[in-house]
A and B are shown apart, each in its own frame.
Chain A
């Protein structure tokens, strides 16, 4: 984007700065181009009126191996819809998503399920993201049953124990059910499940917002440690600017379904160019003394 066009109408044009703090030599693991998602409100006997503003409106982003992209914005800005598009839970109205160079948005059935392995989702609500009827061991084992190759049958038990240990849970608790765990521990279970298939990319949709402050830090630390250990790339979605700043290499600011500004943490937090970013920064609680 040229400087002049931004000055004319700042709300229309995204501010894109390709300041890439990581070496561009690292391979791209996730690439989204011009993603648009309109929610159809149609049905039998109901008017098929075209819906108004799309939830996601022309979003493009790229993620390199081992990198964290912070995605900030307020409720209703389309962050969660975007997360569902990136992970192929929903299908975009237009645009495409590539994971490890493979397009997800055109695949179907078995091929889609196989391709999805490389991109996993961590949810906000530690209470609804785990099946309450399954034991923790069964929850973490499920991905290994669906995809047979990562662990042969005899190794599964050991692999589940490894995963639980990796996220800081006691493997001896594998036969307990989710309701016996605290919010922070459940979030760890959800992370273990997401990591079972050794994904390259993990999309975290507000993973710490439902947690107590003293537990948030544990989970944030877990995410950073896992990235260092396993080289995962994160799309870290949050409304909490302080947490995103701590986690992210680059930050994208989302507003009304668009990414209005993208750049490194320093560029965004110290030299915000888009008025919306500036407003967001000024209204977030002052850093503690």
Chain B
């Protein structure tokens, strides 16, 4: 299931029947036809290859944004949880500021100020608003691990702070964040779709599911297929990342190895 979600993204070039940009206006909005199982979009482009190619951008954004926020969360959460004191205060207060923001509005405002809306800028903005919740989880799980005796034992052996963090604290504290991160990949893909749908995300030449849904919003009463297929792919991808989260949870338990 996990592999299924990623495979089309990686191999999208092989699956698409022909070029997604090869469009003939006379086919605009036609239903499924031979060789074109999902039919055509309003520009007359093959919807199947569009959806399949859209996977790439949607997943890239999902992985990139969560990857960024995961990295930030692990670093900041570990620092806040392990050192406490002033470091913790500063990081926690910054997180609080982000928690106070209405997320979607925050993202819209920030994206408005960006000139380019490409995969990178959208990912960065999404990451900007997902790291605080992950960091908070990381911080509390580091707090719990820090007080365990094997950490004291490592200090007692003369291990340096870096070694303790990298060898003992982070590996034992990372599981909940990793699970939550894989859950939030789905949420981020959805958020990207929502942003694009609202017109502040990726724009037309890019091909994410959000772009397709955005394009479909005016026509879906007549051409239902424009809405259904990208939405279906979106839901399946989100679901599979949720399941990936469950797999990860099991994999992180040392007892199951």
**In their complex, do chains A and B touch, with some C-beta pair under 8 Å?**
yes
A binding-site residues for B, Cβ under 8 Å: 43-44, 84, 87, 89, 113-114, 116-117, 120-121, 123-125, 128-134, 142-143, 146-147, 177, 179, 190, 193-194, 196-197
Are B89 and A44 closer than 8 Å at their CB atoms?
A: yes
Are A121 and B153 closer than 8 Å at their CB atoms?
A: yes
Interface stretch of the complex, out of B4-12, B25-33, B158-166: B158-166
| Residues of A contacting B255 in the complex (Cβ-Cβ under 8 angstroms) | 132, 179
A-B CB contact pairs (8 Å), 13 listed: A44-B89, A89-B152, A113-B158, A123-B153, A128-B150, A131-B167, A131-B168, A131-B172, A132-B254, A132-B255, A146-B157, A146-B163, A179-B255
Asked, given contacts A133-B254, A143-B158, A146-B159, whether A121 binds B172 with beta carbons under 8 Å apart, the answer is: no
Number of A-B contacts (CB under 8 A): 73
**Supplied contacts A113-B158, A179-B254, A197-B158, 20 more A-B pairs, CB within 8 Å:** A44-B86, A89-B156, A113-B160, A114-B158, A116-B156, A117-B157, A117-B158, A120-B156, A125-B149, A128-B150, A130-B150, A131-B150, A131-B154, A131-B171, A133-B171, A143-B158, A146-B159, A146-B160, A147-B157, A193-B153
State how many angstroms separate the Cβ of B156 from the closest Cβ of chain A: 5
Asked, given contacts A123-B149, A123-B153, whether A132 binds B172 with beta carbons under 8 Å apart, the answer is: yes
* A117 CA to B157 CA, complexed, in Å: 6
Partner of A142, one of B159, B172, B257: B159
Are A89 and B155 closer than 8 Å at their CB atoms?
A: yes
Are B148 and A133 closer than 8 Å at their CB atoms?
A: no
| Residues of A contacting B167 in the complex (Cβ-Cβ under 8 angstroms) | 131, 134, 142
Chain A binding site: helix, strand, loop or mixed by DSSP? loop
Q: Nearest 7 pairs between A and B by C-beta?
A: A113-B158, A129-B149, A143-B157, A123-B149, A131-B150, A128-B148, A128-B149
State how many angstroms separate the Cβ of B22 from the closest Cβ of chain A: 52
B binding-site residues for A, Cβ under 8 Å: 86, 89, 148-150, 152-160, 163, 167-168, 171-172, 254-255, 257
| Residues of A contacting B154 in the complex (Cβ-Cβ under 8 angstroms) | 131, 142
| Residues of B contacting A196 in the complex (Cβ-Cβ under 8 angstroms) | 157
* A104 CA to B20 CA, complexed, in Å: 71
| Residues of A contacting B148 in the complex (Cβ-Cβ under 8 angstroms) | 128-129
Partner of B153, one of A113, A114, A133, A190: A190
| Residues of A contacting B158 in the complex (Cβ-Cβ under 8 angstroms) | 113-114, 116-117, 143, 146-147, 197
Partner of B172, one of A84, A133, A194: A133
* A163 CA to B150 CA, complexed, in Å: 18
Are B160 and A121 closer than 8 Å at their CB atoms?
A: no
State how many angstroms separate the Cβ of B40 from the closest Cβ of chain A: 53
* A121 CA to B157 CA, complexed, in Å: 9
* A243 CA to B243 CA, complexed, in Å: 52
Considering the complex, give the chain A residue whose CB is closest to the CB of B168. A131
Considering the complex, give the chain A residue whose CB is closest to the CB of B163. A146
| Residues of B contacting A193 in the complex (Cβ-Cβ under 8 angstroms) | 153, 157
* A69 CA to B118 CA, complexed, in Å: 69
| Residues of A contacting B152 in the complex (Cβ-Cβ under 8 angstroms) | 84, 89, 121, 123
Are B153 and A87 closer than 8 Å at their CB atoms?
A: no
* A142 CA to B154 CA, complexed, in Å: 8
Considering the complex, give the chain A residue whose CB is closest to the CB of B257. A177
| Residues of B contacting A87 in the complex (Cβ-Cβ under 8 angstroms) | 156
State how many angstroms separate the Cβ of B94 from the closest Cβ of chain A: 14
| Residues of B contacting A132 in the complex (Cβ-Cβ under 8 angstroms) | 172, 254-255
